[in-house]
Amino acid sequence: MRNFQMAGGLSRRGLIVTAGAGLVAAPSAFAAQAHKPAARAAAPAGHTAAGAPPSPEQAMTRLMAGNGRYVAAKATHPNGDAARRRLVAAGQTPFATILACADSRVAPELIFDQGLGDLFVVRVAGNVVDDAILASIEYSVIHLGSNLVMALGHERCGAVKATADALDGHGSPEDADTKIGALAALIAPAVRAVPAGTVDRVDAAVSLNAAQAAAEIFAGSRPLRARVLAGQLKIVAARYDLDDGKVSPAKGRSDIV
């Protein structure tokens, strides 16, 4: 699972990412004990009781355990009280970094049942990657010690749908003179990569777009790439289901290493 495959398919800012049949369906990081209790940290913020940052696998387990609680309507809403606020006021050590869509229905702290100081969250419509987004993610890993980065798309994403519509020539006239076209340009390669005849084109593009974001984080940052290849960092792509609340591997490529 270490080889980062690069082949024909998506192309954005010079990055070529495998798309389609050759994709790795590699949900190892999602071998999620979704209903196991989360490893509750007694140490500052996201660190383990021993004071060390959790491994990528430990972070993934904790994240998916939180999603399992949320899905099962057993959320504990941890780390949200005044004591926690005081603790993390002195410094943050989030255990995971989430690149999520700005969609109001996809709030990472809620859907992963986490609290203050647990997640470093970067949100932008369509969960795309540009330099500012990538810099934010780099900061969370290099300076704050996060060892897991998740690019999280979601069902019925309006940004992906709007991009598909625009590519079909049905763009909204209200978007004229806005920056929405620039955003859509970042999503367009994922929409174009959906194989012809796919029943749910938008949903397929959601997964490909998340995978593309994960791949761009890997390819666009030498320090993060080095950490991935050394086994110190995991970058994964996932899809959030608006209906049942589940986070699952993005179809196609879900796990970069």
Under the rule (CB under 5 A), what is the footprint of Zn ion?
101, 103, 157, 159
Contact 126, 209 (CB under 8 A): yes
Q: What is the number of other CB atoms lying within 10 angstroms of the CB of residue 250? A: 31
Q: How far is the CB of 61 from Zn ion (least distance, A)?
A: 26
CA 178 to chain centre: 26
- Toward Zn ion, which CB reaches closer, 103 or 216? 103
- Toward Zn ion, which CB reaches closer, 79 or 248? 248
Q: How far is the CB of 31 from Zn ion (least distance, A)?
A: 27
- C-alpha count within 13 angstroms, C-beta hemisphere, residue 212: 33
Q: How far is the CB of 154 from Zn ion (least distance, A)?
A: 6
Q: How far is the CB of 97 from Zn ion (least distance, A)?
A: 18
- Toward Zn ion, which CB reaches closer, 57 or 241? 241
Contact 165, 172 (CB under 8 A): yes
Q: In degrees rounded to 5, what are phi and psi of residue 175?
A: -85, -5
Contact 120, 96 (CB under 8 A): yes
Q: How far is the CB of 184 from Zn ion (least distance, A)?
A: 12
- Toward Zn ion, which CB reaches closer, 38 or 236? 236
The residue type at 126? G
- Toward Zn ion, which CB reaches closer, 123 or 192? 123
CA distance 5 to 253: 10
